[in-house]
Structure 1
Amino acid sequence: MRRLTSLSLLLGTSVMFSFTACKNGGLFGKKKESSSATGWSYNDPKMGGFSVAKNKDQQTGPGLVFVQGGTFVMGASEQDVMGDWNNIPRRITVSSFYIDETEVANVHYREYLFWLQRVYGESFPDVVRKALPDTLVWRSELAYNEPLVEYYFRHPAYNNYPVVGVNWKQASDYAKWRSNRVNEKMLMDKGLLSKADVNSQADDNTFDTKSYLAGQYEGTPGKMSKATKSEFKNSDGSPRTAQFEDGVMLPNYRLPTEAEWEYAALGYIGQNPGPSKKEGKRGEELIMNRQVYSWGTNNSGLRDIRRGTWQGQFLANFKRGSGDNMGMAGGLNDRASIPGPVTSFFPNTFGIYNMSGNVSEWVLDVFRPLSPVDGDDFNYFRGNKFQTLYLNGDKEPEKDSLGMLKMRDVTDEESAGRLNYQKGDVINYLDGDSLSQVDYGYGITSLINDKSRVVKGGSWNDRAYWLSPGNRRYLQEDFATNTIGFRCAMDRVGSPEGNKFKTGQIFKKQRQKR
C-alpha cells in the first residue's frame, strides 16, 4: 500500500510538472520569445527569422580575473623624487574589466611563436622573426649575463617567469593572436567550427575573429552548424556563422589602459567590501587609506594578523638598494635576483600578482605629462587613432596575406561632421594641437613623441619608489629591456558588479489605479 501511494504521488507530481512545463514553454513545448516593441516572435522562420540570443553573462577568458570598476584618485601618491611632476592626482571612474592574473610568461610567449612558425614559417618567415623577443637585453658591458641571454627565454626552469625583451608592438600583436586562438576554440567547443582545421591553417586562411564575423574565413563547419535543429540557421534553413550578438565569442584581449592598470593594481575593493549575492548588502563607498603599493591587506605589510606568518618578509620583487638585489646568503630577502615566477609574491585584493615589482609592464597609452584637466574623467585614455573596415571597389571587406581583415585609418573628413570627435587621429588632442594652443614640439624639443608608450610598475631591478602604482615612466614602442614585460586585459560587457548581478537599482513596481 505504501509503495502504491508513493507511486501515485510520483505520477501525480510528474503530470503536474509536465503540465507546468507545457504551460511555460519547456520540455514538451517551447514558448517563443517575442519583441516587446512589435510583438513579432524572435528566432521564428515564419516571423522573419530575426535571431536573438538568450541573455547570458560574459565568460571569463583564460588567465583573466574580473576587476569591478569604480572611482579612484589616479596619479602619484609619493613625493616626486624625479622632479618632473607629470602625474598630478585627479579623480576618475574606470568601467569594470578583466585583466590577467599574472604577467605573460615565457611558456605563453613560446606557444605564440610555435603557432606563428607552424602557420607562417615557410611563406612569411619575417612574421616569426619580428615576433622574437630580444634576448640580448640581458647583455651588459660590465656584467656577466651571458647565461641569461642564452637560457632565460628557452630553458624549462624559466617557463613560468615573465617574458622580457618584448617591445610594445610585439606585446600588442600577442594580444591579437591570443584573442583569435581563444575565440577559435570557443567556436570549436560550441560545434560551430571543426577541429580538423587546427593543423591545416596557413597563410591567408587562418582564423581571425573579424574575418570570421565578416564571412571571410573559409573554415570547416562543426557538428552544430549541420544540426537540423540549431539556433545557427538562417530563416531558409541554411547554416550561418555565429555573430558577436550570439554571445559565443569574447571581446578582444588587449593591453590595459594606464587607468585600468593603475586601478587594478591598487585593489581598493579590499578596503570597501563589495556586494553579496543578496540584494541590498553593498559596500559603504569609502576608501579609508590611499595605498602606496598594490597590496591592500595590512598596508604596512608587516604581519599577517591571522597567522603571523610573514613578519618582515618582502611582498614584492625589487632592489632594496645599490648592489642588493636579493639579500645575503642564508637570508635572501625576496629570493629572486632576477624576475621570479609569475605566481610568486603577494597578490593584491583582486587576486592579481606582481602589480608592484618583478617586471614593469607596457600599457596601451601614449605617454604625455598629465595635468588636473587632462583627458576625460571616465575611462581616461590617450592614444586613440580611430580605424574602420577597409572596403574594396565592390564595397566588400578584404583579408590581407596573413588572413587578417584589412582596416584603414578614419580620415578627418569623415569625422568633421561629428559632435564627439572631429579628427581620426587624436593622440595629440588638447596637448600640442591647435585646440590646446600649446606646442611642445614632441620628438623635436623633447624625447617624447607619438611612439612613447607608458610603462607602469617597478621591476626586479628598481628601488621601492617605482613600486607605487601611481608612478609612471615611458619608452619608445619599438624598444625592449630586461625589466619590462606585459599582461593583457579585456573589456567587460554586462553588469559592472559581475556575473549573476543586475545592472542599475531594481525596484518593485507600484500598483496603479485602473
Structure 2
Amino acid sequence: MKVNKIIALRLMLSMIMIIGFASCSKKSSSKSASRGTGWDVDSKRVSNAKKQEAGPGLIFVEGGTFTMGKVEDDVMHDWNNTPTQQHVQSFYMDETEVTNFMYREYLDWLKNVFPPTEDIYEHIYEGASPDTLVWRNRLGYNETMTNNYLRHPAYASYPVVGVNWIQAVEFSQWRTDRVNEAILEKKGYLKKNAKTQDVTAEASFSTETYLKAPTMTYGGNEEIVLKGAKGARKSPKAGKDGKVTEQKNVYAQRSSGILLPEYRLPTEAEWEYAAAADVGQREYNIYKGQKKYPWSGSYTRSGKRQSKGDQLANFKQGNGDYGGIAGWSDDGADITNEVKKYPANDFGLYDMAGNVAEWVLDVYRPVIDNESNDFNYFRGNRYTKNKIGSDGKVEIVTLETMKRDTLSNGKVIVRSFPGQIAQVPVDENETYLRQNFDKSNNINYRDGDKQSSKYYNFGNSESDTEKEKDDKKMYNSPKHNVTTDSLGMMVRKYDVSSKRTTLINDEVRVYKGGSWRDRAYWLDPAQRRYFPQDMATDYIGFRCAMSKVGPKAEKRKSARN
C-alpha cells in the first residue's frame, strides 16, 4: 500500500511539473526573442506578414526566362529584333488597357483639385488631356471620333488613345497615390472621405511624401493624417517621472506592408513576356515551341468548335478592310473595340495583340544588350533622390515650384505637383566607388554614349573630356527647340540642319503590339517600334504594371509539378 501511495505521489508531482513547464512556455511565447540578438522584440509584423495584395485592375504574372526579340517573320529586315535570353521577375499587369472611363476619372480629379478656370493652375488639366485631334485625317471624315470618343458613354470601355508617353507616366503616378490613399483611409490612417471632401491643390496626398514625411501630407493637417490605425493610438500618458514620451511608429510605413508599390508602365521585357504567355505551352522546365501570337497556333482565327473562324484580335484585315463587310464582320470592330471582347491569353491578359498598340517604359535602341544585363532588362534609368532643404528636411513641391515643361509640339505640361517631394539627380555621394552605376542618367550606356560611338578614340587620353560634337554623336538626330517668351507666346525653333542621320534620340520610346490600324505582322509580341515620347496617335494606348515584392511564385512549386 505504501509503495502504491509513493507511486501515486510521484505521478502527481510529475503532472504538476509538466503543467508548470507548459504554462511557462506559454508565457515565454507571448514575446518572441530575436534570432539575431536574443532580445525580446515585437514579432507581430513578421508573424502576421502576408503576401502582396494585387492592386485594383491587376493580374499576377509569374516571372521566368524567355527568348526576347524572337519574331516568326522579319519582312522589314530592320535589324532591331535580335533574339536574347532574358529573365523577368514576377510582376502584376493591368488585365486590360486603360480605358476612357479610367482616364476620365483622372481628368475629373485634376479638374476638381486644380480648377482650370484659375490662372495659377493653367496647363495642368489641359496638359493631361488626350489629344482628340489624332482622329483627324486629311482625306477622311472622322469628326465623330474627334468629338465623342473620349467622353461619350458608348466609348467608356474602349481603350484611351491620344495619350503620349509622358501623360501615361503621369497617370500611373496619380493612380499610385489614389490607390494608396484609399488603402490608408480604409485602415484608419487617414480621415474618412478626406480624399474627396478635404483635398485641395495645397493639401493633397502623395505616397512618397507620406512615407518620408507623413506630417507634411495634406499640408500638415493632423485632422486628416491620423496617428495610428483606426484611432488605436491614444494620447501618450505621463510616466512615473512625470515625463510624457511620444509614441513611435504611429504612421504607416513600408514595414507595415499595407502600401502597394508604384503603378508604372511595364518595361519592354515585361510586356513582351506577358504578351507571349509561353506558360501556356510549358512542359516541366521547357517551352514546347515558340508562339507567333499571344495565343497558340499560327493563325489569327479561332480553331475551337464553339468559336471556330472568329478573329482572335482587332487588327486591319487588308487594304481597305478594317472590320469585314456589313452583316459579317471579321472581328466586330473597325476602329478600336471594347476591352475584353477577345479571348485572354494564358496569363489572363486581354488585348495583348490588336485593339491598340501600347507604350512601354523603355527608351528605344536598335539592339537589346543582354551582354551587359539579362535580368529585368530596361533601358531608360534616370536615378534621382529627394531634395533636402536648408532646414534638413525633404523639400515639398508647392504651387510656386511646380515644374512645367514645353514639349516639342508646343504643349505645356506639369511634371511635378504640389504635395510631392522634389527630386534632384543623384550625385557623387551616391555614385562614388560604385561598380553598378556611376551617374544619374544611364540611357546611353553602351549604346549612345561616347565610348560606344565609332568616333571614340581609345588611344587618346583626352577623349573622355573632349566636348562631343553633334556630327560625332552615335545618334545624330534633329534638335527642335520650343519655348515660351515672357508674354507666354510660343517660340518655335526647328532644326534645319542637313547633317542629321537618324530619328533616334533619348526622347523616343518603344511601343509594342499591333493595333486596329496594323496588319497581322505587327501582332507578334516580339515586334517593336518607336515613337516620340511627347507625341500621340489614334492607335497607341497603354496599360500599367506593378512590381511584385516577395517570392517569385504565389504557390510553392517543385520539379514534379
TM-score strictly above 0.5: yes
Mapped partners of 1:53, 1:408: distance in 2: 38
Indicate the larger mover: 67-76 or 372-381: 372-381
1:425 is the counterpart of 2:419: no
Mapped partners of 2:165, 2:294: distance in 1: 23
SS of residue in 2 equivalent to 1:108: helix
CA deviation after TM superposition for structure 1 residue 120, in Å: 1.4
Deviations 1:150-204, CA, capped at 9 Å, x for gaps: 0000100000000000000000000000000000111111111111422211123
Amino acid at match of 2:97: E
Unaligned runs of at least 5 residues, structure 2: 1-19, 236-243, 399-417, 455-472, 478-499
1:155 is the counterpart of 2:149: no
Matched with 1:126 is: 123
Indicate the larger mover: 255-264 or 213-222: 213-222
Matched with 2:505 is: 449
CA deviation after TM superposition for structure 1 residue 80, in Å: 2.0
1:293 is the counterpart of 2:293: yes
CA deviation after TM superposition for structure 1 residue 116, in Å: 0.7
Amino acid at match of 2:198: S
Q: Is the 8 A contact 1:416 1:423 kept in 2?
A: no
Task: Count residues in correspondence.
Answer: 463
Q: Is the 8 A contact 2:300 2:313 kept in 1?
A: no
How much identity, in percent, do the aligned residues show?
A: 45
Deviations 1:301-336, CA, capped at 9 Å, x for gaps: 65555xx11211100000011100000111100010
CA deviation after TM superposition for structure 1 residue 353, in Å: 0.4
Matched with 2:165 is: 168
Mapped partners of 2:548, 2:144: distance in 1: 42
CA deviation after TM superposition for structure 1 residue 410, in Å: 1.4
Compute the TM-score of the two structures, normalised by the length of structure 1.
Answer: 0.84
Matched with 1:39 is: 38
Q: Is the 8 A contact 1:98 1:489 kept in 2?
A: yes
SS of residue in 1 equivalent to 2:85: strand
Which residue, out of 324, 333, 338, partners 1:336? 333
Mapped partners of 1:77, 1:245: distance in 2: 43
Amino acid at match of 1:36: R
Which residue, out of 473, 492, 504, partners 2:529? 473
Amino acid at match of 1:98: Y
CA deviation after TM superposition for structure 1 residue 268, in Å: 1.0
Amino acid at match of 2:356: V
Indicate the larger mover: 398-407 or 89-98: 398-407
**Highest CA radius of gyration, 1 or 2?**
2
Indicate the larger mover: 196-205 or 465-474: 196-205
CA deviation after TM superposition for structure 1 residue 266, in Å: 0.5
Which residue, out of 247, 262, 265, partners 2:272? 262
Mapped partners of 2:259, 2:526: distance in 1: 34
Mapped partners of 2:312, 2:22: distance in 1: 56
Matched with 2:57 is: 63
Deviations 1:355-412, CA, capped at 9 Å, x for gaps: 1000000000000001565641111100011111111122210110211111111136
1:34 to 1:54, Cα distance in 2 relative to 1, 3 A: farther
Q: Is the 8 A contact 1:226 1:239 kept in 2?
A: no
Matched with 1:253 is: 263
Q: Is the 8 A contact 2:303 2:309 kept in 1?
A: no
Mapped partners of 2:548, 2:74: distance in 1: 34
CA deviation after TM superposition for structure 1 residue 125, in Å: 3.5
CA deviation after TM superposition for structure 1 residue 124, in Å: 1.5
Amino acid at match of 2:30: K
Matched with 2:384 is: 387
1:372 to 1:250, Cα distance in 2 relative to 1, 3 A: closer
Amino acid at match of 2:437: Y
Which residue, out of 109, 112, 117, partners 1:115? 109
SS of residue in 2 equivalent to 1:66: strand
1:495 to 1:23, Cα distance in 2 relative to 1, 3 A: farther
- Map 1:62-101 onto structure 2 (within 5 A): 62-101=56-95
Matched with 1:508 is: none
Mapped partners of 2:62, 2:21: distance in 1: 39
Q: Is the 8 A contact 1:457 1:466 kept in 2?
A: yes
Which residue, out of 75, 81, 103, partners 2:97? 103
CA deviation after TM superposition for structure 1 residue 227, in Å: 1.4
SS of residue in 1 equivalent to 2:451: coil
Matched with 1:435 is: 451
Q: Is the 8 A contact 2:302 2:311 kept in 1?
A: no
SS of residue in 1 equivalent to 2:345: coil
CA deviation after TM superposition for structure 1 residue 434, in Å: 3.1
Which residue, out of 423, 431, 435, partners 1:415? 431
Amino acid at match of 1:284: Y
1:463 to 1:388, Cα distance in 2 relative to 1, 3 A: same
Q: Is the 8 A contact 1:360 1:486 kept in 2?
A: yes
Q: Is the 8 A contact 1:204 1:400 kept in 2?
A: no
Mapped partners of 1:85, 1:158: distance in 2: 38
SS of residue in 2 equivalent to 1:381: coil
Q: Tell me the C-alpha RMSD between the 2 structures.
A: 2.7
Deviations 1:90-137, CA, capped at 9 Å, x for gaps: 111000000000000000000000111111124523211100000000
Amino acid at match of 2:421: L
1:53 to 1:411, Cα distance in 2 relative to 1, 3 A: farther
Mapped partners of 2:375, 2:315: distance in 1: 32
Q: Is the 8 A contact 2:515 2:539 kept in 1?
A: yes
Q: Is the 8 A contact 2:275 2:345 kept in 1?
A: yes
Indicate the larger mover: 197-206 or 246-255: 197-206
Matched with 2:200 is: 202
Q: Is the 8 A contact 1:188 1:222 kept in 2?
A: no
Q: Is the 8 A contact 2:301 2:311 kept in 1?
A: no
CA deviation after TM superposition for structure 1 residue 445, in Å: 2.3
Q: Is the 8 A contact 1:53 1:247 kept in 2?
A: no
Mapped partners of 2:194, 2:351: distance in 1: 37
Q: Is the 8 A contact 1:495 1:501 kept in 2?
A: no
- Map 1:167-246 onto structure 2 (within 5 A): 167-198=164-195, 199-215=197-213, 216-217=216-217, 218=220, 219-221=224-226, 224=229, 226-228=231-233, 236-237=246-247, 240-246=250-256
Matched with 1:139 is: 136
Mapped partners of 1:43, 1:450: distance in 2: 48
Mapped partners of 1:395, 1:442: distance in 2: 42
Q: Is the 8 A contact 2:135 2:538 kept in 1?
A: yes
Matched with 2:361 is: 364
Mapped partners of 1:167, 1:268: distance in 2: 30
Mapped partners of 1:454, 1:94: distance in 2: 18
CA deviation after TM superposition for structure 1 residue 437, in Å: 4.1
